[in-house]
Amino acid sequence: MTNSTLIKLNEKAVKFVSLPLKMFINGEWVESLSGEKMNVIDPSTKEIITQVPKGDISDVDLAVKAARKAFDRGPWTTMKPNDRALLLLRLADLIEQNAEELAHLETLDTGRPINFSRFVVATCVDQFRYYAGWATKVTGETIPVSTPGNILNYTRREPLGVCVGITAWNGPLSMAVMKLAAPLAVGNTCIIKPASETPLATIRLAELIEEVGFPEGVVNIITGPGSVIGDAFTTHDGVDKISFTGSTEVGRNIMRNSASTIKKVTLELGGKSAHIIFDDADYQQAIQNAANAIFMNSGQACFAGSRLFVQKNIYDQFVKDLAEYTKNYKLGNGFDPSTVLGPITTAAQKKTILEYIDLAQKEGAELVVGGDATGGDLDKGFFVQPTILAACNNNMRVAREEIFGPVVVAIPFETVEEVIEMANDTEYGLGGGICTTDVKKAHKVAHALRTGNVWVNTYGLMDVASPFGGYKQSGIGRENGAAAIEMFTEVKNIWINLD
Ligand code: NAP
Ligand code: MG
């Protein structure tokens, strides 16, 4: 592996990380009350980029009080919807104007290729513009009730209150934005807790929020270990809603804790998505889809197509050609424009992935290609090669547990019925992929999959207008589209006696 030429870090991003980074609470930039800090690491080089405050329970309380005050007594909830929309549109414009800096921060923090970060920042602009449109369009109903008397019965959709967004490290900026745009549009106040590994772009976003001029306390950003401050949010009686993206294990804990105050929860959790390749598929397209489905973002995607079901008569050749295709992927630093796959974002995650690759072989799987990635610049960071495991079955641990890395488990199948049964034989239900040229089969299988999202002859497409979320233990609720408006509003029913 040769050493690469990197594009220069954006000057504004350099300046941003050179200044002390703080939390944004009640419209003020503050240190944690304890004064403690946590390191932020560049996964391509393992170097410390900067530090952020290590918030604890007392900081959580301040953030909740600020958001509570802004909701209960601030100008936010009485602000006209078109004025709220205008603030969201201005924020979208500011993100667009600072897109390159945000993309650089996201790549520095997560390691993902810079062009991918640029694409993600553009989707963040879309998020705020789309939900700015919703601010003036959320309506209730008048209901023709049959009760005695002369009654006017109608509903209003009202904001929930204080909404806490907790994000994972595999898509920090876009997750923070998804946990702000819809709730803000309908008049909630928000607190975001970014993943400790990747807080940078979220903190920069808070600066843009300040620049736009949202009222104080409407958006608060707090950094700190989830294991320490998570419970404080989920049990706090000042919080109305938790919107969480992360592992199923932590999601379960959040749901359990939220029961103490009957908080609303949206949970975007793990996955072990089936990608089904039928023998009538467009072969080259299927190879590309299968590869993208698992290897994009170095496999650190909740909806990654990590269980690859291939029809038996093409299985051997498909696995061989897929392995050949992985040679197209150049691994490297995200700031090298030729990089297709960046590093794993955290040291702990790289270790987990390599352990699963070992386990697979102990379980009898054949390592076709992949494993640890070393040599040249790769030694500096947390890299793992695109990895294909063949001779697998759906009962192996590597076929049942989320690995969250560039590791695909290839499983043969013979019939449509058999593959539907195996695809659904999992505790997860996030994504599903189908490659076939038979339109009837495509729809039938798409309907049979117990997952929130299905892609046919493509994989992993997302859009702000299109609902996203999981069945089964992949989550509760949906993000994006009209679904997110429902997730962040209460329905109030009003009865008026007109006699
Ligand atoms: P994680 O360990 O569950 O952490 C996610 C977030 O929760 C982080 O901000 C973490 O804080 C915080 N947290 C940790 N313990 C907590 C607690 N007890 N209470 C409240 N919050 C707590 O997940 P991860 O390893 O960062 O992310 C990978 C997982 O996210 C995978 O399972 C992946 O499938 C899932 N994911 C799902 C979606 C989806 O939309 N369905 C999208 C992306 C990722 P710290 O960072 O401080 O630990
Ligand atoms: Mg980092």
Q: Which residues of the chain have pLDDT under 50?
A: 1-2
Residue 331, token pair as written in the block: 């691994």
271 within ligand 1 shell (Cβ under 6 A): yes
Q: Convert the pLDDT of each residue in 269-282 to its tens digit.
A: 999 999 999 999 99
Query: Which ranges of 219-311 does DSSP label H, i.e. alpha helix?
Result: 226-235, 248-258, 283-295
Instruction: Please report which ligand is nearest the Cα atom of 169.
Output: 1
User: Atom 9, ligand 1: which residue's CA is nearest?
Assistant: 195
Q: Convert the pLDDT of each residue in 405-435 to its tens digit.
A: 999 999 999 999 999 999 999 999 999 999 9
Which residue has 């414009």 as its token pair? 93
Ligand 2 center from residue 211 Cα (angstroms): 25
Strand bridging mode 28-30 / 23-25: antiparallel
> What pLDDT is attached to residue 34?
98
Sign of CA dihedral 71, 76, 82, 88: negative
CB-CB neighbours of 284 under 10 Å: 10
Task: State how far the Cα of 166 lies from the Cα of 191, in Å rounded to an integer.
Answer: 9
Ligand 1 center from residue 497 Cα (angstroms): 49
Ligand 1 center from residue 205 Cα (angstroms): 20
SS3 of 277, please?
strand
Instruction: Please report which ligand is nearest the Cα atom of 239.
Output: 1
CB-CB neighbours of 133 under 10 Å: 13
Ligand 1 center from residue 437 Cα (angstroms): 37
> What pLDDT is attached to residue 181?
98
- In order of their start, the domains of the chain are 3-269+474-493 (3.40.605.10), 274-463 (3.40.309.10)
For ligand 1, what atom is nearest to the CA of residue 167?
Answer: 9
Ligand 1 center from residue 419 Cα (angstroms): 30
299 within ligand 1 shell (Cβ under 6 A): no
Task: State how far the Cα of 96 lies from the Cα of 98, in Å rounded to an integer.
Answer: 5
For ligand 1, what atom is nearest to the CA of residue 250?
Answer: 3
Give catalytic residues, as residue numbers: 268, 302
Instruction: Please report which ligand is nearest the Cα atom of 304.
Output: 1
Q: Convert the pLDDT of each residue in 340-357 to its tens digit.
A: 999 999 999 999 999 999
Ligand 1 center from residue 247 Cα (angstroms): 5
227 within ligand 1 shell (Cβ under 6 A): yes
User: Atom 22, ligand 1: which residue's CA is nearest?
Assistant: 226
Ion ligand 2 residue ranges (Cβ < 5 Å): 41, 109, 197
250 within ligand 1 shell (Cβ under 6 A): yes
> What pLDDT is attached to residue 74?
85
> What pLDDT is attached to residue 3?
54
Q: Which among 202, 241, 250 is the best mutation to test ligand 1's pocket, defined by most ligand atoms within 8 Å of the CB? A: 250
For ligand 1, what atom is nearest to the CA of residue 346?
Answer: 25
Burial 231-250 (b: 16+ CB within 10 A, else e): ebbbebebbbbbbbbbebeb
Ligand 1 center from residue 238 Cα (angstroms): 22
For ligand 1, what atom is nearest to the CA of residue 479?
Answer: 40
Instruction: Please report which ligand is nearest the Cα atom of 194.
Output: 1
294 within ligand 1 shell (Cβ under 6 A): no
